[in-house]
Amino acid sequence: MKQLLKKELHFFEKHKEKYLKHYKGQFVLIKDTKFIGAFTTEEEAYKAGVESFGNTPFLIKKVVKGESVNAIPALTLGLIRNAGS
């Protein structure tokens, strides 16, 4: 199975140092191998992505020195149950 947004993530990593110089702390919007823009909030980037691309995948990534990962475990959401319960 092809990894979703693999092309966009690779493009982001390739240009990350440039983004850190110009857009640190902002959210960049990337589609395919194109930088679409930088936004002060994730919501602004999302709105621009939906307006430009509709219901297709696009990448919004916060420009920070380290990696930030947002994870919402399925167990927390009640989508799976702990085997011990």
Residue 10 lies in a domain: yes
What tens-digit pLDDT sequence spans the chain (85 residues)? 357 889 999 999 999 999 999 999 999 999 999 999 999 999 999 999 999 999 899 999 999 997 654 444 444 444 445 455 4
Residue 32 lies in a domain: yes
33 domain residue, yes or no: yes
Q: Report if residue 56 sits inside a domain.
A: yes
Burial 11-37 (b: 16+ CB within 10 A, else e): bbeeeeeebeeebeebbbbbbeeeebe
Domain range for 16 is 6-64
Indicate the pTM of the whole model.
0.74
Q: Helices marked H in the chain — which ranges?
A: 6-23, 42-53, 74-77
Q: Residue 84 domain-assigned? A: no
Give domain status of residue 75, yes or no. Answer: no
- The number of folded domains in the chain is 1
Is 15 within a domain?
yes
Let me know how long the chain is: 85
